[in-house]
């Protein structure tokens, strides 16, 4: 005789299979928005008083100090183009934001060290009676450390700013949801609102701390905020929807150029041609291809 089946086994067979919780959704929004917000508070908060720091602690003149800040701002505004290209073609949005967050944090730590360690900047001027005070110029190694901090912060901004909004949209973009467009509009509204609040805090609170509590605390708080941004973003890694990397942008441009050259002598179909429907959208007033942009 066969033994009767175990009751526990029969119960397990009757249980429905466990369904995995879908990734993405509103649960991931606080982590993405917090990462962007902390980055903006930290980076924008450093910029406002930086000319005073360069003049007082590094002995730079107004012209040279403004030149350094101009190059820093220019690099920060240019790097999002590089970050967007690397994100779409090679790294993906999640990895780009993670690397950029780490880069920004390291840059702010280096900048904070310039305020903490007297060896990494020119010695302060101590005036004696009847003599003029002239601070020694910063050495090449001291300026290299300062510029490295600026470069790391610019690289971080170049990776976070162009990818955060698109990465957040990836978490919510669900074509099967009839309210998909409404959800995305709500996310965009909260994203830009939080970014505005972050910039406001940077221009007021961080600047006030630097003016009244000194550079050590004024540079240390942005570094702590950037550390929190990195931790918060990485903590939710299992919850994110991570899109696959598409083909390289340059590959698409090359393919379009080659296709345009090969098809340069093709005759355009007429209005009566049945293939003309492929050249205009539904309910479009243009019923036949035009001669523009052949």
Distance separating alpha carbons of residues 204 and 18, to the nearest angstrom: 50
Q: Flag whether pLDDT at 272 surpasses 90.
A: no
Q: Which of 262, 271, 255, 222 is nearest to 110 (CA)?
A: 222
Distance separating alpha carbons of residues 262 and 46, to the nearest angstrom: 52
Q: What is the pLDDT of residues 137-147, one digit of tens each?
A: 788 899 999 99
pLDDT at residue 15 in the model:
47
Work out the burial of residue 17: count CB atoms within 10 Å of its CB; fewer than 13 is exposed, 13-18 middle, 19 or more buried.
exposed
Instruction: Give the N- to C-terminal CA distance of the chain in Å, as an integer.
Output: 82
217 or 21, which is more confident: 217
Of the listed ranges 40-54, 111-125, 157-171, 184-198, the one predicted with least confidence: 111-125
Give residue 293's pLDDT band: very low, low, confident or very high (50, 70, 90): low
In angstroms, what CA-CA distances link 145 with 113, 117, 150, 215? Answer: 10, 12, 9, 17
What is the Cα 108 distance to its own chain's centre?
A: 16
Q: Flag whether pLDDT at 90 surpasses 70.
A: yes
Q: Maximum Cα–Cα distance for the chain, whole Å? A: 114
Q: Flag whether pLDDT at 244 surpasses 70.
A: yes
Q: What is the pLDDT of residues 41-67, one digit of tens each?
A: 999 999 989 999 999 889 888 999 999
81 Cβ contact list (under 8 Å, min separation 6): 158, 162
Element (H, E) at 97: helix 93-116
pLDDT at residue 23 in the model:
78
% the chain with pLDDT above 70? 79
Give residue 174's pLDDT band: very low, low, confident or very high (50, 70, 90): confident
Residue 130 contacts residue 88 (beta carbons within 8 Å): no
Distance separating alpha carbons of residues 268 and 287, to the nearest angstrom: 13
pLDDT at residue 191 in the model:
92
51 or 271, which is more confident: 51
Distance separating alpha carbons of residues 247 and 96, to the nearest angstrom: 16
* Residue that has been written with the tokens 């006030």 in this structure: 208
Give residue 292's pLDDT band: very low, low, confident or very high (50, 70, 90): low
292 or 192, which is more confident: 192
pLDDT at residue 247 in the model:
66
Distance separating alpha carbons of residues 49 and 211, to the nearest angstrom: 8
Q: What tokens does 17 get? A: 């299979």
Q: What tokens does 235 get? A: 């903590």
Q: Flag whether pLDDT at 276 surpasses 50.
A: no
Give residue 245's pLDDT band: very low, low, confident or very high (50, 70, 90): confident
% the chain with pLDDT above 90? 48
Mean pLDDT of the chain: 83
Cβ neighbour number for residue 154 with a 10 Å cutoff: 24
Q: Flag whether pLDDT at 114 surpasses 70.
A: yes
Of the listed ranges 21-30, 150-159, 236-245, the one predicted with least confidence: 21-30
Of the listed ranges 24-33, 127-136, 172-181, 253-262, the one predicted with least confidence: 127-136
């Amino acid at each position: 005789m066969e033994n009767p089946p175990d009751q526990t086994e029969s119960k397990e067979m009757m249980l429905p299979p466990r369904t995995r919780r879908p990734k993405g959704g509103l649960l991931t929004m606080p982590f993405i928005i917090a990462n962007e917000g902390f980055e903006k508070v930290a980076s924008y908060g450093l910029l406002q008083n930086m000319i005073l720091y360069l003049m007082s602690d590094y002995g730079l003149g107004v012209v040279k100090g403004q030149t350094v800040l101009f190059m820093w701002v220019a690099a920060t505004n240019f790097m999002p183009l590089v970050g967007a290209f690397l994100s779409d073609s090679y790294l993906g949005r999640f990895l780009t934001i993670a690397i950029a967050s780490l880069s920004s944090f390291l840059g702010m730590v280096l900048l904070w060290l310039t305020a903490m360690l007297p060896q990494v900047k020119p010695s302060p001027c101590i005036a004696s009676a009847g003599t003029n005070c002239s601070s020694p110029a910063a050495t090449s190694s001291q300026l290299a450390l300062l510029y490295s901090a600026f470069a790391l912060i610019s690289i971080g901004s170049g990776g976070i700013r162009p990818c955060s909004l698109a990465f957040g949209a990836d978490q919510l973009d669900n074509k099967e949801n009839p309210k998909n467009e409404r959800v995305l509009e709500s996310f965009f509204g909260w994203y830009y609102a939080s970014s505005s609040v972050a910039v406001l805090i940077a221009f007021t609170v961080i600047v006030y701390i630097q003016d009244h509590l000194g550079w050590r605390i004024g540079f240390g708080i942005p570094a702590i905020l950037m550390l929190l941004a990195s931790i918060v973003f990485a903590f939710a890694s299992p919850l994110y929807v991570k899109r696959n990397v598409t083909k390289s942008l340059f590959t698409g441009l090359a393919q379009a150029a080659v296709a345009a050259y090969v098809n340069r002598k093709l005759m355009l179909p007429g209005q009566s041609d049945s293939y003309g429907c492929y050249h205009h959208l539904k309910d479009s007033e243009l019923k036949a291809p035009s001669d523009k942009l052949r």
